[in-house]
Amino acid sequence: MKSLLAIPEVKEWVVATSMENFPVSHKGNWAQRLVERYSLPLPKSEKTGKYSLTAKYINELDDSTIKQFLLTGDETLIEDVERARISMALWKESNDGDYINIQSKKHLGEIVFGYMGITPKVSGANTKSGRDKFDMDMVEELAKEHPWAENLRIYNKLLKIKSTYVDRFRDRQEDGKYYFYFKQNGTVSGRYGSDAQQLPKPLEPGEDAPVIEKYVNIVRAFLIAGKGRKVIDCDYESLEPHCFASVSGDENLREIFNKNLDFYSTVAIKTEKLVGVSADKKDDNFLKKVDPVKRNKAKAYSLGIAYGMEAYALKMTLGVDQKVAESLIKGYLEGFPQLAEWRERSRQQVKEHGYIKNYVGRVRHLPRVKSIYAKFGDRMMDWRFRKELELQYGKDQVMQAYRDYRNGLNNCLNFQLQSLAAAVVNRAALQINRKAKELGIDAIVQAQVHDQLIINVDEKDAEMFAPHVQSIMESTTRLPGVTLKAPPEISYNWRDGH
Block means of pLDDT (10 residues each) for the chain, length 498 residues?
Answer: 84 91 92 92 90 91 92 92 92 90 85 83 49 76 84 88 89 89 83 82 77 88 92 93 91 90 91 91 90 86 82 82 88 89 94 95 95 94 92 94 94 92 95 97 92 95 97 96 94 86
Distance CA 55, CA 67 (A): 10
Residue 113 and residue 8 share a domain: yes
In a domain, 438, yes or no: no
- Of the candidates 425, 416, 413, the residue with the CA atom closest to the CA atom of residue 454: 425
- Treating both helix axes as pointing N-terminal to C-terminal, what angle do 251-258 and 337-353 enclose, rounded to 10 degrees? 120
Residue 101 and residue 20 share a domain: yes
In a domain, 356, yes or no: no
In a domain, 405, yes or no: no
How many domains is the chain partitioned into structurally? 3
In a domain, 436, yes or no: no
Residue 111 and residue 29 share a domain: yes
In a domain, 233, yes or no: no
Of 335, 365, 390, the one marking the end of a domain is: 335
CA distances from 112 to 19, 43, 135 (A): 19, 45, 11
E strand or H helix that includes residue 457? strand 452-458
Of 335, 367, 399, the one marking the end of a domain is: 335
Distance of CA 253 to the CA centre of its chain: 27
Residue 197 and residue 157 share a domain: yes
What's the domain range around 316? 251-335
Residue 107 and residue 11 share a domain: yes
Residue 175 and residue 216 share a domain: yes
Distance CA 479, CA 483 (A): 7
Greatest alpha-carbon span in the chain? 97
- Other Cβ atoms within 10 Å of 96 Cβ, number: 7
Distance CA 337, CA 435 (A): 41
Q: Coil, strand, or helix at residue 128?
A: coil
Distance CA 498, CA 491 (A): 10
Burial grade of 392 (CB within 10 A; 0-12, 13-18, 19 or more) = exposed
Amino acid sitting at position 256: I
In a domain, 42, yes or no: yes
Residue 213 and residue 156 share a domain: yes
Q: Coil, strand, or helix at residue 258?
A: helix
Residue 151 and residue 110 share a domain: no
Threshold 0.95, pTM exceeds: no
Residue 13 and residue 91 share a domain: yes
- Of the candidates 190, 34, 15, 44, the residue with the CA atom closest to the CA atom of residue 115: 15
Residue 89 and residue 46 share a domain: yes
In a domain, 444, yes or no: no
E strand or H helix that includes residue 183? strand 182-183
- Is residue 402 within 8 Å of 380, Cβ to Cβ? yes
- Of the candidates 105, 112, 102, 108, the residue with the CA atom closest to the CA atom of residue 128: 105
Of 177, 201, 222, the one marking the end of a domain is: 222
In a domain, 97, yes or no: yes
CA distances from 269 to 247, 272, 297, 451, 453 (A): 22, 6, 11, 27, 33
Residue 99 and residue 55 share a domain: yes
Distance CA 34, CA 84 (A): 12
At residue 124, the pLDDT reads 42
Residue 17 and residue 108 share a domain: yes
- Other Cβ atoms within 10 Å of 149 Cβ, number: 21
**Pairing between β-strand 443-449 and β-strand 363-365 as defined by DSSP bridges:** unpaired
